[in-house]
Structure 1
């Protein structure tokens, strides 16, 4: 069991690193290629579209073909995609290709990365649901949340370290990690029979309990991406920082938030009795507090405290909505629901950058206000539904 848990953790970690390792080096690489910020946004956004579209498909395939084969296919696809993306970048940097052809090839390669990455987290989450009971589901999903958090922290750090050798070096690492993960999964995860032998029952994302947890997932991921996208602009404008000071503060803040997230989820792994709804509600309260701190405590110390609260809140909400979604469906639908959870992450990555930057241009405080409002609305909805259920049970 321990080797399975390690393999699931490592698989999700590598997938998240594969997603995050591109982000820090994309802006300077795009400028080295002579392309514009619009091209960069297009390349990243279309990769997110591929993630959102393919995540439910991979989840359903894991129900039919088995979790392990889909994870292995995902890593092979990630390797091939990264090789193509890196080769295209190299060809552009050495002036072998340029202009429209370069942009098209980068979009295709980045979309392929987005196509294969969700095969791993959606299948890994379904596998965790297979090997845990209802009481241990939140603790199991906390392990996956910790892997996400660690990838969120170490992905940019790995990119920054290897970028000192050369801007394209993080992409070489991004290509090698899936091969290492492929070997780990191949050797450590035992093969299992597919959960279902016939056509899998489709998961309806609008069914009563599930839609609440997917809403919680959307609120969580919108919060995370929004802070990543506009945080730097906000801190620079509020504290009159230089670009280097801003980069240092954002890096430290995101690292602090990631560490808080990992520690929070590490504690949850040992507290197997924590249920999804309380995790989400407490986490949402901490997320709202962090937004208020960002808005009203205008100082470096205040912002760092806000980052810590944000990390703890997100660290509670992520396993909460993952476990809740898993428990809301039948055993033969675990792959399908895991795909929907991964799709929510892709949708957030599409919506949040455009929404947050547009709001920021109207008023720099608006992105944080809107995030707090969405999280509050989600919490109120979750509470009201819970209260209705309790009331109906008491009447009976």
Structure 2
């Protein structure tokens, strides 16, 4: 193992913690509050923010979409520049927080913000960010990554920068009380996939990261099995904290990562607006079956440690079946139907996008070439 690990985000966890932004943000800061479709105004979160910012100068920007678009976010970038905003407060789930990371970085750049996603501009500064998490799923509240969509060209690309890591994250499980079941289910699946992408690679002997990943997977499996208890304080708090730990950098330190499911799944979202978490559930089982020999050891380990399966020659195969059954138990599909009735054209569209984005050698050993991706899609698309 050889790695550096630092997570500078201050976590403010628990009931009533939204009020703490009154002191977490200096009163001298000019704040831009960014949120999505306005649900925070009906569930009480917005009013808590207003009360906490009583002694601050602040403005607001709404309308950030699920899978945030450059076109919308650039409007907020203009506000930050024009009004000399000192602090961006993201109030929402991963989409809003990801969007604020783009806003923060693009506001310190004179060119087109999309240059950040294309790799033409390396972020060297950003407007400070704080986050109030309303939907647990992505872990974006305490990591340095974001994924942004350019609607005009149907491109969905990620970027990483330590400069956009939130300074603090408020995590109050009470804000989850009004979330629709679909969003809670997506949160379970998204967090599950984040762990898998850092765990289901090859045997490397890193006991802490593997053991912690297995704890998180068992947590999520239990939360899925106890979905009928989702109205309890305990269920909400455990999902919020588990989803955060799934992608705060710790379990991924010093170990190989995959992320192929994400890269292919992003194209399903960009082309057909599939929910991010559901795009991952569509791709993963087919990808694991395609790469089973490369991942057999870790699949067998997951079968034993997470699903409590008995050893057998087909343990890896049974583990994939168990993963797929877990998604089905949450009423999450594992084949794409949103593309219409032309499967061949759909596969070609995804392959064209992967080629365009340079996603031609994916996975922890770069073993997933375009032909492998095509084969995965043959099984993943109805």
Query: TM (normalized to structure 2)?
Result: 0.28
Higher helix share: 1
Higher strand share: 2
